[in-house]
Structure 1
Amino acid sequence: MDLLWVLSVSMLTVCVAIPMDAAAGSHSLFTCEPITLRMCQGLPYNSTFMPNILNHYDQQTAALAMEPFHPMVNLQCSPELRMFLCALYAPVCTEYGRMTLPCRRLCLQAKSDCYKLMDMFGVSWPEEMDCNRLFPDCDEPYPRPVDLLSSSDTTESPISVQRDYGFWCPRELKIDPELGYSFMGVRDCSPPCPNMYFTREELMFARYFIGVVSIVCLSATLFTFLTFLIDVSRFRYPERPIIFYAVCYMMVSLVFFLGFLLEDKVSCNAASPGRFRASTVTQGSHNKACTLLFMVLYFFTMAGSVWWVILTITWFLAAVPKWGSEAIEKKALLFHACAWGIPGVLTVSLLAMNKIEGDSVSGVCFVGLYNLTALRWFLLVPLGLDVVVGVALLLAGIAALNRNQEKLVKFMIRIGVFSVLYLVPLLTVLACYLYENSYRAVWETTWVQEKCRDYHIPCPYQVESTSRPDLALFLIKYLMMLIVGIPSVFWVGSKKTCFEWASFFHGKRRLCGTDNPFNE
């Protein structure tokens, strides 16, 4: 009866041993933290470090793992057991990233004293608590600290050097949980601003480069659209999609120009001691200006790509089944439904999933800048499908024209050349995105390795290769995203256009230009 009573009391102790405040949340900062485990109260130390060497990432998990040992501690099978368990599950932490491990002597003594009682309770000595893995004999139960921020420490601890803690969000980059941010797979975290890869001088050069290109593209597409407004009847199907294509890239270039003017005021959260500790990249839809820039930029980028596909469709219909302008125009409603509906669905989906990200290089907000999943499914896949469909239609139309040489008219050549001028930049943009997708993990690991000591976070354990992105890659990507709008001006660049503008301004006629491959 006495033994049964003792066991009952011991099991009751197990039920109440986990403190209520241990369930408050998981460990979120790489730093020393107060001990909340009830078993480990009243020890010579009162701060610990998580994760411990048993891969428990918070004290709540460690408390659950310690439950089977509560009866042995309550029955005092060994005076060393409680001290050993606490040194193992809640190691003493003296400063950021430095903790101590229990001595091997302490482990062997506790195991020897409690072995029979553990067998009675059906508790086995866990493999991860193998005494041979701990420090050799030492005078104190808590030996000199182990530096967990260094990956080169191979003599002090055979345990700590064999593990990679992964990415821990620095204190400076922590974000309010209600915002739903994430960075490198860690929630409530955001990338730093300015850009984590480039210097301020490089970012300044990139900003002006994007600004100049956006102005050129905006001027070209705006001229194309205004020319269309002067004489709407001039541009009929199958060439009408070029006008909507120009409108799409007019809006794209306008957003990039606004990003140039705004710098990082929208794409970044301002540093402050309150809500944001340091300047971080804007994410989600809580920033209304960022959300608006994202919606316009992503929607019209996707719409411009779809309108190019529709142009290849109208070109195919005119070249192969030899549809006339009226027959193609009857499908205009379907073309508009696809060209505006598909990008609309994609845009709303991204808003619902909160996948908006600030671009600290260009100053705009887009998608896939830090989230690889969003990059693959909302940029690579849609643009890749557009390329496949558009190229297939172009090749089919060219093959049909080769079999019918009499149909190799100037108009068809113009659409074909225009499509190629779009296809080359689009393929370049896809190549840039694919390159980013392949090397993003290496770039991020390299950044963590370079900044881990500054941020007081764990350094990567084994880094197989390091690499930093080349600014030229990003400049080429932005250039190709904008330059695709410029060929639209060549379509309207003819003598007829000059006469129309001259008539529009004061009714004057002026002789304009010489030969142009796009002239009618």
Structure 2
Amino acid sequence: MGCVVDLPWRGMWILSVVSLLSGSMAIHMDSVGSHSLFTCESIGLRMCQDLPYNNTFMPNLLNHYDQQTAALAMEPFHPMVNLQCSPDLRPFLCALYAPVCMEYGRVSLPCRSLCHHAKRDCQKLMDMFGVTWPEEMECTRFPDCDESYPRAEDLLVIDDPTDQSPMSVQRDYGFWCPRELKMEPDLGYTFLGVRDCSPPCPNMYFRREELTFARYFIGVVSIVCLSATLFTFLTFLIDVTRFRYPERPIIFYAVCYMMVSLVFFLGFLLEDRVACNSANPGQYKTSTVTQGSHNKACTLLFMVLYFFTMAGSVWWVILTITWFLAAVPKWGSEAIEKKALLFHASAWGIPGMLTIALLALNKIEGDNISGVCFVGVYDVQTLRWFVLAPLCLDVLVGVSLLLAGIVALNRVRMEIPLEKENQEKLVKFMIRIGVFSVLYLVPLLTVVGCYLYEQTYRSVWETTWVQERCREYHIPCPFKVEQTSRPDLVLFLIKYLMVLVVGIPSVFWVGSKKTCFEWAGFFHGRRRKE
């Protein structure tokens, strides 16, 4: 019983079949070259004589590169075939070891039911002869076929290549990892749900000139953000006592995004050297995306970037908490400062636990657009739970506390008579809070929107990419693709822009005449010392 795969490309596609069935493609890469063209050859295997077909192809579906190797591999099954333990054993074995060679690009796979029947009928005899059923012949690896067909050798006959019976109708075989993207096992690589596989470098969606433009765009924005946040932090160091609670979280917020922008700037300098595995004929056939924690530089970039991204969002929530405590229960600066230890434990502890969890789950991925390493670049589930969920929770909590604080301050301004000078200070403080919050929330909500859009259309983009590249990679093309779409580079540029712009509002909080006087005094003091 066989299922026909009707695919319009050359015999190199067979190598993908081999990879699916045997899982040992990487071991024999060098010897595949001689079989790169699809050619039929007469069957010389003794067991497979007198079948309804007499031509086969090599390498076969179990990665044997000539019929002599296939004959040696079939020897343990000779006693079972001679004793005729099952009428399905011989056609099943021959369908694997000497598959029928049909018209250009068509390959017959044995049906799962044929495998089950052969294994079930011959199990006792195999136990008697000490023969184990090979892992690469596990029945779950083969496609289901129409059970109404009889179980006999004549099922291997393909009389009419245009026949549209259930045995020859195309179906979606899912994504098969091309040998160019195949990775070493046990490294934790996954691509489109397939283990030991990695996305290609450069980026699978964009051309090199687009990636070059994106790289320089991210580099320029990261320099601007780094300059703004570094200025904020240095202003704090000049006069530490100036920024007390409830304003102090802004400084730690600035430090977090200073580190984020520094990582993106390093990604700009490093280009693909960290986010991608370089092509190496002895190990990798082409450049692929780095995944997992085996690359120390990638792991370090991921830890710094993810930790400080999450910490920055938590510090913004803490900032709204301190404002709320100052506005509603009327806590003073000293009372809020007593909770500083709790604030620090939350702001550094929560991101730390999330980072450790991702390291334990081995979910690090190279981002070959920005040159950094992050999480959820290709894994939608990880993106959803470790990036989107924390950011959305921070926005929800922060906005609720912020609105409550602003309402409380406005009530104070309206109900309690204050001196004109105090009224002006309170109004100015509320305006600064509002402007700072808008400058933070608009970019952050834009980032969340980009992630949600990306998560929604990721599967469509991936299917489109497979459809466009399947013939190049010699893998099965998607069947009946209903929707195709490619991502727009603008979406990613907006995402990176907003990720970095989020850190810039901190400079507006310290931007005042007092800051200018402090910097002037600082430089004047240094000159006097010299």
TM-score, reference length from structure 1:
0.76
Deviation of 1:470 after TM superposition, in Å, equals 0.6
1:297 is matched by which residue type in structure 2?
A: L
In 2, Cα distance between equivalents of 1:232 and 1:156: 79
Question: Aligned pair 1:74/2:86, yes or no?
Answer: no
Within 5 Å, which residues of 2 pair with 1:254-333? 254-333=262-341
In 1, Cα distance between equivalents of 2:80 and 2:277: 51
Distance 1:134 1:425, change over 3 A: farther
**SS in structure 1 at match of 2:281:** coil
Q: Contact 2:21–2:62 (CA<8 Å) still a contact in 1?
A: no
Distance 1:85 1:508, change over 3 A: closer
**SS in structure 2 at match of 1:258:** helix
In 1, Cα distance between equivalents of 2:158 and 2:61: 15
Which residue of the other structure, out of 178, 187, 193, is the alignment partner of 1:179? 187
In 1, Cα distance between equivalents of 2:332 and 2:481: 62
Q: Contact 1:193–1:279 (CA<8 Å) still a contact in 2?
A: yes
Show the counterpart of 1:354: 362
Number of equivalent positions:
439
Show the counterpart of 1:410: 428
Identity of aligned residues (%): 71
Q: Contact 1:368–1:375 (CA<8 Å) still a contact in 2?
A: yes
Which residue of the other structure, out of 79, 102, 107, is the alignment partner of 1:99? 107
Show the counterpart of 1:49: 61
Which string of whole-angstrom CA distances, capped at 9 and with x for unpartnered residues, describes residues 291-327 of structure 1? 1100000000000000000000011111111111111
Distance 1:127 1:370, change over 3 A: closer
**SS in structure 1 at match of 2:274:** coil
Deviation of 1:507 after TM superposition, in Å, equals 4.2
Within 5 Å, which residues of 2 pair with 1:367-446? 367-406=375-414, 408-446=426-464
Which string of whole-angstrom CA distances, capped at 9 and with x for unpartnered residues, describes residues 93-124 of structure 1? 6499631479xxxx9xxx9xxxxx99xxxxxx
Q: Contact 2:146–2:166 (CA<8 Å) still a contact in 1?
A: no
Which ranges of structure 2 fall in alignment gaps of 5 or more residues?
1-17, 27-31, 37-44, 64-69, 123-143, 417-425
Distance 1:505 1:244, change over 3 A: same
Question: Aligned pair 1:239/2:255, yes or no?
Answer: no
Show the counterpart of 1:10: none
Show the counterpart of 2:484: 466
**SS in structure 2 at match of 1:276:** coil
Deviation of 1:159 after TM superposition, in Å, equals 2.9
Q: Contact 1:315–1:412 (CA<8 Å) still a contact in 2?
A: no
2:300 is matched by which residue type in structure 1?
A: L
Which residue of the other structure, out of 356, 363, 383, is the alignment partner of 2:371? 363
In 2, Cα distance between equivalents of 1:225 and 1:453: 54
Q: Contact 2:62–2:96 (CA<8 Å) still a contact in 1?
A: no
Deviation of 1:343 after TM superposition, in Å, equals 0.3
In 2, Cα distance between equivalents of 1:416 and 1:322: 19
Which string of whole-angstrom CA distances, capped at 9 and with x for unpartnered residues, describes residues 135-156 of structure 1? 9x99xx644797xxxxxxx746
Show the counterpart of 2:221: 213
Deviation of 1:49 after TM superposition, in Å, equals 3.3
In 2, Cα distance between equivalents of 1:499 and 1:308: 27
2:355 is matched by which residue type in structure 1?
A: T
Show the counterpart of 1:229: 237
Show the counterpart of 1:19: none
Which residue of the other structure, out of 483, 505, 512, is the alignment partner of 2:501? 483
In 2, Cα distance between equivalents of 1:461 and 1:127: 17
Q: Contact 2:22–2:62 (CA<8 Å) still a contact in 1?
A: no
**SS in structure 1 at match of 2:263:** helix
1:202 is matched by which residue type in structure 2?
A: E
Which ranges of structure 1 fall in alignment gaps of 5 or more residues?
1-21, 34-38, 52-58, 112-116, 119-125, 147-153, 510-520
Deviation of 1:402 after TM superposition, in Å, equals 3.3
In 1, Cα distance between equivalents of 2:439 and 2:503: 10
**SS in structure 1 at match of 2:398:** helix
Deviation of 1:412 after TM superposition, in Å, equals 3.2
RMSD (CA atoms): 3.7
**SS in structure 1 at match of 2:499:** helix
In 2, Cα distance between equivalents of 1:312 and 1:329: 14
Show the counterpart of 1:196: 204
In 2, Cα distance between equivalents of 1:259 and 1:449: 31
Deviation of 1:265 after TM superposition, in Å, equals 0.4
Show the counterpart of 2:29: none
In 1, Cα distance between equivalents of 2:196 and 2:294: 14
Distance 1:286 1:508, change over 3 A: closer
